[in-house]
Structure 1
């Protein structure tokens, strides 16, 4: 009502007679800010009310289960509280599903391969260079053909299994260093010196370039006609593109990237320095199976983008002052893209892209790329020592997903999505019971 009265006062014809146009514009701008803040508070309140109601319903069910158990044990005719009489029997509630990620890493499921995977940044693949990569435990090599378009072929010569990336590029063909056989981007051998030419071809993957990234389709199913967009939102400029090879299984790395609750405990010497420890951390989503949402109380929006990408937008404010704000309330932002390519059972190729919606001059500062890489590696090393410890115990049989709690929501939904894909399901199954606790 107060906002309504302010709006009426500003647009009232009688009031306008005594105020300048500049004053009215300022008042309208201030009102727009207040309305945006009020809208955001309503949105947060609705989400909190919904979460509280779900938790209350779950607690009532637990009470009912306990009473029924006591009745069956003692044989007495206890009276149920009136608030529980309308609840369905405990046995009608779907059983709580657990997550078991333990033991040696299993062979990759073929269903997980039927996606477009980003494998490199365009700027890193020059016309006369090769880029060896591993994907799902198979060796591949990227290079550009005569037309400048990228190709991805098996990194093994058809003749004597020599790694092709040890060779060179000749007129848009990759040349084996052993006997000089040359292959085009479609895998066809187009030159075979010192012998009679044979019809030889090595395996090549569908490979495309879009928005500064090179993508491959490692699966056997026909590739989908469109590639997803991973560009930062409008108004951002890309400041850094970094590639790292990490000795950790890609699922464990995704688990870590999708978890922000660990920041004030793990990243105390980098970006979370000065953060206080909140009494409660939540990840709020628009629906029960959504793979995107925002953190409360941190001003960070986050999304898991299948099959292996994490997108996040971080509202930047003064150190130690991140809590209690949404990204919309922050004037400046950092946008991050993490791609976790499954190289092998215990190796991930990480592609990291960092963008800012402020300070464009930083793009022109000499050696700035080295500074961004130093900082990215410092943050990652804080995580890596922990994740490597998890991996060691996982390989020895420990479950790395014991006792999931509410702030594990996005990581759990990633695991749920992955399990669904590996089962060959076309849709996500119903969410785990504890997601809304």
Structure 2
């Protein structure tokens, strides 16, 4: 699990009057809004008797523990000990706090070393809120390692088996992929791709369209899939994977689309379809994790048809892919 990055802890509407418990990179967090309305994140553990602060409530004094009423400010400092006779008794006591940014309807937490200053901004989801574009967000918890999630989201061959009937039809064709990469990213562009032989392909892609399809991975655990048929017909699917533990990942998937003039109608079909696809991936990755626990640590074999999976693994292992020449691969989809 990679530190020194921003991760989505929750969506903005999920923190209202009460705090929300989340786990990020194995650390239990409590996410809440102070009296000023700004989001904050603390370790979800009261320093006094270690009750989870997410069981408490937000008051004028800060986040108040449900056990003895100790209160904590957004910066992690104790602001009140109700049973103390000396009001200054709490000043030197604190719990760990985390840098937080609220951006595009998400609460992002910087998971660096303590007191480490964030070195970059959170991920930006393209076209969110722009004229002509619509979007929706899906959230799922995968019982799977974050690497297995991102690999799955950018793995075309599995769609013919796990998603047959929804995403892929009966026909299969050879296609060429051009793989390019950089210091912290790798992508594959599918050259000369035709529309999918399925009902969703026929709905979204007009016959004769020239499709530009690009699958991209970037650190820490972000995937992006772009389909562009024309200026007014295109969509993007981006998933930000937040590792909770080694075998559990919370995934926030943004799907932005432009299908003029039928955007509202398309959404009625697109959203439940995308949810069904995601649920199938939740299940197959749960099965993979179950089988890995039974058979032992992963001993994966990387094949040319895996396209960019080996590159993803190298990036997560700390290797830079900058300077690599473009590579062509072929596979049947």
Which category describes the TM-score, using the shorter chain as reference length? 0.7 to 0.9
Aligned positions of 1:102-251 closer than 5 A: 108=1, 112-126=2-16, 128-171=17-60, 173-196=62-85, 197-198=89-90, 199-220=92-113, 221-232=116-127, 237-251=133-147
Which residue of the partner structure matches residue 309 of structure 2?
411
Which residue of the partner structure matches residue 281 of structure 2?
383
Answering whether residue 295 of structure 2 is matched by residue 399 of structure 1, we say no
User: How far apart in 2 are the matches of 1:172 and 1:255?
Assistant: 45
Report how many aligned residue pairs link the two structures: 301
Q: How far 1:411 moved relative to its partner?
A: 1.9
Instruction: Flag the structure with higher helix content.
Output: 1
Q: How far 1:419 moved relative to its partner?
A: 0.9
Answering whether residue 177 of structure 2 is matched by residue 283 of structure 1, we say yes
Which residue of the partner structure matches residue 337 of structure 1?
238
Q: Given the two structures, how large is their TM-score scaled by the length of structure 2?
A: 0.79
User: How far apart in 2 are the matches of 1:144 and 1:375?
Assistant: 34
- CA offsets 1:197-243 (integer angstroms, 9 cap, x no match): 32211101111112222211111143114333223376553432222
Query: Residue 190 of structure 2: SS of its match in structure 1?
Result: strand
Instruction: Flag the structure with higher strand content.
Output: 2
Query: Residue 113 of structure 1: SS of its match in structure 2?
Result: coil
Q: Which ranges in structure 1 are unaligned for 5 or more consecutive residues?
A: 1-107, 315-326
Q: How far 1:132 moved relative to its partner?
A: 1.1
Tell whether the 8 Å contact from 2:41 to 2:100 is kept in structure 1 after alignment: yes
Which residue of the partner structure matches residue 355 of structure 1?
256
Q: How far 1:173 moved relative to its partner?
A: 2.1
Q: Given the two structures, how large is their TM-score scaled by the length of structure 1?
A: 0.62
User: How far apart in 1 are the matches of 2:69 and 2:271?
Assistant: 37
Larger Rg: 1
- CA offsets 1:325-351 (integer angstroms, 9 cap, x no match): xx2458522321211111011111111
Q: How far 1:357 moved relative to its partner?
A: 0.8
